[in-house]
Structure formats: C-alpha cells, structure tokens
Amino acid sequence: MGQNIIQLDNSFEYKLICQGNTAEVFLYDKNKILKLFRKDFPLEIISTELDIAKLISSDLVFVPKVFVLVKYKNRYGILYEKISGKDMIAEMLRKPFKIRSYSKALADTHAKIHTSTVDLSSDIKDKLINNINATTDLSKQEKDKIVSYIKTLPDGKALCHFDFHPGNVMIKNNEFYVIDWMTACNGNAASDAARTYFLLRYGELLYANFFVKLVAHIVEKHIGKIYLRQYKKLTGISDAEIKKWLLPIAAARLIEWIPKSEKIKLLKFIRKQLAKMI
C-alpha cells in the first residue's frame, strides 16, 4: 500500500452527515469531509480507493479532490473535498417534479465517465469473477457456469464506476459531482450501465427507516427506466448489450453488504437466468 496514515484526535467529535453500507461521512472542516469506513473494513481496500480517487480526480473535473488516509477511533478513513450540496436521490425525494430531468442527467454523467481514458489496471470481468467465486450463496456448479459465461462477454477499456447510482451523485449549484470510486475499474461500458440499472431495479437502502426505503424503492424503479432510455440514446448501446451483463452483475453483488431481503431477490433472479441457459 505504501500510504502514510494520519492519526486524528480521538477526543474530537465530528458531525455525522450521512451513512452508507460500508462507511459513514462526517464533516471534517468547512472544506473537507471525512469518509470513515466501518470497523474491520479492510485497510487494503481503503488504500486502493485513495489511489483510484487520485487518478480519476486528475482526469475528470466532476470528481471531488482527495487528500489523505486517516485513522480515527480505531477506524480508517479518507479526507475528501467537501461538495456543498445534496445527493441526487435526496433531491429527487425532495423535488419529485425534477425526477425526469435528474434521471437524464444521471445518464449524461455516466456516459461522460465512460469516455475517460484513465487506466486503473483493474478489469471488470476479473472483478466479477473474483466476487462470484468468493460468494457462499451459490453452488460450485452455479458459479462455474456464470464464470464461463462471463468469459464469452465483450471486453472493453472504458472507465467504470461500478457503483453508479443517484446516491453517489452530489448536486451543487446545478452541477453534478460523482463520489465513492472504491469499486472503479476498466471494462465494457455496457457492464457498468447494467450494474446501475440493476441497483435501481433491485437495490435496497440498509440504513434507513421503512418509509424512506419504500419511497426510495418506488422512485428508483422509475429513475431506472428514464436513465436507461437516455443512456442508450447517448451512447448507442443497445438493450441487448446491457442485458447480457445482468446475470454476472447480480451474482457478484451477493458478496456485498446488502439486506437479506435483497439477497433473496438476487438469488431468485440468478437461478431464473441460469435455468434459461440449460
């Protein structure tokens, strides 16, 4: 890794801004936020995120600047540039009349990401295969079948975010900034679009009350339809090209920190797709 780790003052209490499945975000100062990963989250992955974020922020103007790796109360984190705004899903829930325009902007931003030539030396097909082989929710036969299928899919060199959804797009003065590049890699752009569509179709919020989860799920399905239509229009990528990736995308997601209810839906989808391949 070779990263210098700065120890923060454990006696100081930072203000919690928001939280996700893998990390909490705190206000560090007026210009920076602290993304603090959950206890026991692998330091190697956090360090890799820092390296990736530095590369990408040097190429794309709509990516927050990244600073240093830190340790706070026996947890590791990264200091990022503070984007004074709200994430896109929060803005959509607050302003439903803007759902269509924001959904199109989501697709526009994703298409721009896929034009980047940043080389991360990490391939999306390798990532999918590694994640699928690591899950305990599928049998060896099921995993082998999906891995063999992945090897038949088209390669690519596009920059892929691999966790691109409205919660990872910040809005500041009507400009859009993409955050959370921990899973970024290179690969076929259609695979990244498939991942986004799948998150909007099946993804569930882990840290939210029942009402917020319900509303977000309904809204995200609608967003997914608008996003996909706009993305295809901008890129010329077809429905068929995107759908090819849905099975491995679903299988690879099984190793992530997701609610049990989402895992059940994923397994149902995966086994339905596998049955079609017989």
H or E element that contains 6: strand 5-7
Which pLDDT score is estimated for 204? 57
CA distances 9 to 5, 70, 74, 182, 272, Å, are 13, 10, 11, 25, 51
Q: Are 242 and 189 in contact (CB under 8 A)?
A: no
What values do phi and psi take at 32, rounded to 5? -135, 150
Categorize the per-residue pLDDT at 93 as very low, low, confident or very high, splitting at 50, 70 and 90. confident
Checking if the pLDDT of 100 tops 60, the result is yes
Stretch 7-30: mean pLDDT, rounded? Answer: 93
Categorize the per-residue pLDDT at 61 as very low, low, confident or very high, splitting at 50, 70 and 90. very high
Stretch 29-53: mean pLDDT, rounded? Answer: 94
DSSP string computed for 126-156: HHHHHHHHH-SSS-HHHHHHHHHHHTTS---
Q: Counting beta carbons within 10 angstroms of the beta carbon of residue 256, is it exposed (0 to 12), middle (13 to 18) or buried (19 or more)?
A: middle
H helix and E strand count, the chain: 10, 11
Checking if the pLDDT of 2 tops 60, the result is no
Residue whose tokens read 């989501």: 106
pLDDT in tens, 202-230: 875 444 444 445 555 667 788 999 999 99
Checking if the pLDDT of 94 tops 50, the result is yes
Identify which has the larger pLDDT, 180 or 79.
79
Mean per-residue pLDDT over the chain, rounded = 91
H or E element that contains 174: none
Which pLDDT score is estimated for 21? 76
Identify which has the larger pLDDT, 19 or 68.
68
Stretch 140-144: mean pLDDT, rounded? Answer: 98
Categorize the per-residue pLDDT at 89 as very low, low, confident or very high, splitting at 50, 70 and 90. confident
